[in-house]
Structure 1
Amino acid sequence: MEAVDTVVNICDYILNVFTNLIYLILYESSYKNRVPLFFDDPPPPTFRSSTLLKLSVRLKCFGDCLYLLDGRFNQLHTLYVALVNLHRTELSEKEGDLPNLKCFSLSCNLETSHHDEIIFPLLNRMPNLEQLGLYLLIHVDEIFIDGNHLKKNIINRMPRLNQFTFYISSSMFTRNKLNLPSTEDIQRTFIDFPNNEIVSYVDYFPKAERGLCHIYSYPSVMECYSDISNNFPGGLFNYVRMVSLFDEHPFEHEFFLRIVQSFPFMEKLCLINYKPQTCKQFYESNNDNLNLSVIEYSFLSELVIVHVHDDYIEQFLFDTKTYLPYNIILHVNYESLQRVTNYFKRDATRINCAKINKLNLGGESKCSNSLEQYFPYAEISYSIIY
């Protein structure tokens, strides 16, 4: 909270010192270094500018975004907002139109189910918007967000809109639901869409009783790509910094090669998959591990492999399969790590483990000399629940 307060004070200071400020960009290139602005109460009266035209900022919640649009920056024509969360707020009901705003971008990496109540009313306040970017994770009850939804609720209501880029992943529970749409059904809703290239596909996970629909304009400038499965269609995503993988079918070595090729600047990778790799047995039975391409994660700084089968811990820690950069933060289950490293004695995992500088262990774990020696440069922390 102290860092957040400092950011607010710095912004207030900047606005008061640079009284003719036109552009203000409060953004770190690395996602993990970004500290969001957060207002406990309405910002002070000095937090305003009559000259600011363009603002790019990371905020804690949707209410903070509304504070920026309450008239204190009345000449603003371009606003880029990255939110930590998207909770409901009553502030939007009290605000008027934003006729000067021509370009608006909103992103959030946490799922929301309140898009109809907060996002669309905000967009309706922007009658002269020409460029719009939406990068959202949305939970729906009955119908995925598709091309028809975007045309009805956004495009048809914005006559001046000439550029619309987006990444929207909508999820819903599928228990007792019939006639669920296929990928082809979703793709048909974009036949007459104004954008040149739209990627869309649907995943269904029977065990989790969950469905996911990904829709996005391509090429994309999104920074987070969530819940990638084996159905991932590929492509190049130079702006993505955080990736999460989930499937009820195994991820093979070649899949991870596709991931690193599609996301060359990925900084954080989260993985959930309890299915063992099937090709692993083939490689081992043919003594063919040496013929695998070693996958290099050039910019990776954080790896979360807690809810996974042991095969995926091997996938990332075996030096014959993966080349990790130095100074990695690793989140992993202690007992799984113990098995994969053969009680912290295995040579095949020693090189990559020596590159870890923070090791966060979940499950029943205990400190030992062998663990500390195996991770010689790591700050080790323990958590019973992960």
Structure 2
Amino acid sequence: MEPSVMSYLPLSLCYLTSTTFSSSILTHLYINVETLDDCFYLLDGRLRKLTTLCVNVYYVNTFVEIVHNMDQLLNLKCFSLKLFHSFQQYDKIALLLRRMSNLEKLTLNIFIKNRNRVIDGTNIQHDILDYMPQLRSFIFYICTYVEPAVLSYKLSSEDIQQTLTNIGLQHVSNMVNYVTCFVNFVYGVRAACSIFSLPFEFNYLQDLGNNFPNIVFSCVTYLLIQDTIPFEHEFFMRIARSFPLLKHLCIRNRESQQLNGLVTFSSDNCQLHSIIEYPHLTILDVRSSHIDYAEQFLNETKTFIPCLTEIEASFSGHLKAVTKDFTREETRRNCAKVKKITSIVPVVHSEDFCLYFPSLYK
């Protein structure tokens, strides 16, 4: 089983010479690094005996052009690469993978931006599989962000799925979603196109929208959802079923729920929906969302969150409004175990506030 390395700080290798950081006997390495270039340094010949390398990259350096050793990595049998930020240098990844002709197991999680085409089955075949004749296991989650204006064709989930089927990948799926972005101080919309192997083996998933496949993501504990149209109650029912172990939910949606436009916060006794339960959810992030989603999750007549310990909100006024100045009974139970509240404007710790969030002071 892969060791847990997520708690370790990322390392930077760019200032270390090959004689300072090298080994002639190391065969397995699990490591967190700062940039993608650090991954290339690991494979520049200083660790020639490596058979297994698992790398988590925390940042992507897009400004430095460095010429790295491009020799074949014939000893490498297992390689895992996970990037936690989107990047533009897809070609660098493709060139790196082409050096691994004897690879038997590949795990790939990357987010690619500023392309005029999405990464689909055709790219998987030509950029990866054609260069790995020994590959037996391929676990992947690849997301491409593209501007609709630069696309020369219409995006279709069915067409993307067909490209995956065409290359013989059967246990795979995809999602196409439109999300907001902020570039050069201007808000816009871009398409987020994800392809992934099944079962989904990563513990996080992002940019999921209203239209997502009917799949149980049993490993996912962190989920970021966003869309340009509202999330309604039925959508959150699907989320609860599809993500049974969800612990951290981030909601990005500025659109008001249609039903909440008709039913105000005063309608506490009007039970219009079945109650959704998120038994493992501990962190709720509604910083970039309409106030309706704080209402959706804190109101126990809509959602029950027995383990909620942290709330991240953009404005303390949203919490005040939803909880009616921290006196509303329908939102009290979901707030009772909260130990941390983060907001842009600090919350005034009134007497009602202190009674409403007793766990903050334990």
Q: Indicate conservation of the 8 Å contact 1:139/1:171, yes or no.
A: yes
> Which one of the candidate residues 61, 64, 67 is aligned to 2:35?
61
Give the letter aligned to residue 46 of structure 2: R
Q: Secondary structure at the match of 1:289?
A: coil
Q: Which ranges of structure 2 fall in alignment gaps of 5 or more residues?
A: 181-186
Runs (4+) off by over 6 Å: 281-286
Q: Which ranges of structure 1 fall in alignment gaps of 5 or more residues?
A: 1-22, 380-386
**Equivalent residue for 1:166?**
140
Q: Counterparts of 1:44-55 in structure 2 under 5 Å?
A: 45=19, 47-55=21-29
**Equivalent residue for 2:297?**
316
TM-score, scaled to structure 1: 0.81
**Equivalent residue for 2:200?**
220
Flag the 1:40–1:345 CA change in 2: closer, same or farther, 3 A.
farther
Give the letter aligned to residue 285 of structure 2: V
**Identical aligned residues as a percent:** 34
In the TM superposition, what is the alpha-carbon distance from 1:168 to its structure 2 partner?
A: 0.9
> Which one of the candidate residues 220, 235, 246 is aligned to 1:240?
220
> Which one of the candidate residues 230, 235, 242 is aligned to 2:210?
230
1:250 is the counterpart of 2:226: no
Give the letter aligned to residue 9 of structure 2: V
> Which one of the candidate residues 236, 261, 268 is aligned to 2:248?
268
1:79-114 C-alpha deviation (Å, 9 max, x unpaired): 121211232454452342211001111111211111
Q: Distance in 2 between matches of 1:232 and 1:90?
A: 38
In the TM superposition, what is the alpha-carbon distance from 1:261 to its structure 2 partner?
A: 2.4
Q: Say which is worse superposed, 334-343 or 47-56, in terms of deviation.
A: 47-56
Q: Say which is worse superposed, 282-291 or 321-330, in terms of deviation.
A: 282-291
Flag the 1:274–1:146 CA change in 2: closer, same or farther, 3 A.
same
Aligned residue pair count = 350
Q: Counterparts of 1:53-132 in structure 2 under 5 Å?
A: 53-88=27-62, 89-91=64-66, 93-116=68-91, 118-132=92-106
Q: Distance in 2 between matches of 1:323 and 1:260?
A: 11
> Which one of the candidate residues 262, 276, 284 is aligned to 1:294?
276
1:259 is the counterpart of 2:239: yes
**Equivalent residue for 1:9?**
none
Give the letter aligned to residue 197 of structure 2: S
Give the letter aligned to residue 175 of structure 2: Y
In the TM superposition, what is the alpha-carbon distance from 1:373 to its structure 2 partner?
A: 3.6
Q: Say which is worse superposed, 313-322 or 225-234, in terms of deviation.
A: 313-322
Flag the 1:329–1:59 CA change in 2: closer, same or farther, 3 A.
farther
Q: Distance in 2 between matches of 1:301 and 1:327?
A: 4
1:328 is the counterpart of 2:295: no
Q: Counterparts of 1:178-217 in structure 2 under 5 Å?
A: 179-204=153-178, 208-217=188-197
TM-score, scaled to structure 2: 0.86
Flag the 1:46–1:205 CA change in 2: closer, same or farther, 3 A.
closer
Q: Indicate conservation of the 8 Å contact 1:87/1:114, yes or no.
A: no
Flag the 1:71–1:241 CA change in 2: closer, same or farther, 3 A.
farther
Q: Distance in 1 between matches of 2:325 and 2:268?
A: 26
Q: Indicate conservation of the 8 Å contact 2:44/2:69, yes or no.
A: no
In the TM superposition, what is the alpha-carbon distance from 1:229 to its structure 2 partner?
A: 0.4
Q: Indicate conservation of the 8 Å contact 2:335/2:357, yes or no.
A: yes
Q: Secondary structure at the match of 1:359?
A: strand
1:270-296 C-alpha deviation (Å, 9 max, x unpaired): 111122223456788896527513312
Q: Say which is worse superposed, 56-65 or 217-226, in terms of deviation.
A: 56-65
In the TM superposition, what is the alpha-carbon distance from 1:329 to its structure 2 partner?
A: 2.3
Q: Distance in 1 between matches of 2:271 and 2:17?
A: 59
Q: Say which is worse superposed, 195-204 or 238-247, in terms of deviation.
A: 195-204
Q: Distance in 1 between matches of 2:79 and 2:144?
A: 21
Q: Secondary structure at the match of 1:187?
A: helix
In the TM superposition, what is the alpha-carbon distance from 1:227 to its structure 2 partner?
A: 0.5
**Equivalent residue for 2:127?**
153
Q: Counterparts of 1:324-363 in structure 2 under 5 Å?
A: 324-326=305-307, 328-332=309-313, 333-362=315-344
Q: Distance in 2 between matches of 1:307 and 1:220?
A: 27
Q: Distance in 1 between matches of 2:22 and 2:115?
A: 40
Flag the 1:323–1:287 CA change in 2: closer, same or farther, 3 A.
closer
